[in-house]
Amino acid sequence: MKKIILSTSVVLLYLVYAFQQHFVPSGNSAPASTAQNFQNNTSQPVLNQQGKVNKYKDGTYTGGVVNAFYGNVQVQATIKDGQINDVSFLDYPHDRGTSIAINSQAMPDLKSEAIQAQSANVEIITGATQTSEAFVQSLQQALSQSKI
């Protein structure tokens, strides 16, 4: 009987915590845009094969390791034709069941949004705030290495 009461209490506490994380603003908002007006030596933007402005040098760039409270986050950005082609997680919080569950949902969204935005200016994912903020910092570091 004690095990049932304890288990029920733990589940209820988790639900209260999850509800709070989902519906109570944390005061954190998406980082300010890091977009800049692009100019090269000829004052004309360089266009890639798709007719888009190249923002980055082609290559693979690794961001720094950023503490996300429950573990570290480190990402690697792959740039092709001057655009973000892929973002890979080299490290992320994955030693607790809750971290695994949260990050398995958050990481694909963060990656997809960064590729779509072509920057580290992505929305913070509710419930994965620390991972999201660490992702933004690590990706910004990687992309700063690839600036034209």
User: Residue ranges of the domains in the chain?
Assistant: 53-148
Say if residues 16 and 8 touch (Cβ distance below 8 Å): no
Say if residues 123 and 26 touch (Cβ distance below 8 Å): no
Q: What is the pTM of this model?
A: 0.66
Q: For residues 10 and 28, give the distance between their C-alpha atoms in angstroms, rounded to a whole number.
A: 27
Find all residues with CB under 8 Å of 32, minimum gap 6, and list them: 121
Mind listing the pLDDT tens digit for each residue in 8-31?
766 666 665 655 655 444 444 444
Q: What is the pLDDT of residue 1?
A: 78
Say if residues 93 and 104 touch (Cβ distance below 8 Å): no
pLDDT band at 3 (very low <50, low <70, confident <90, very high): confident
CATH architecture for residues 53-148: Alpha-Beta Complex (3.90)
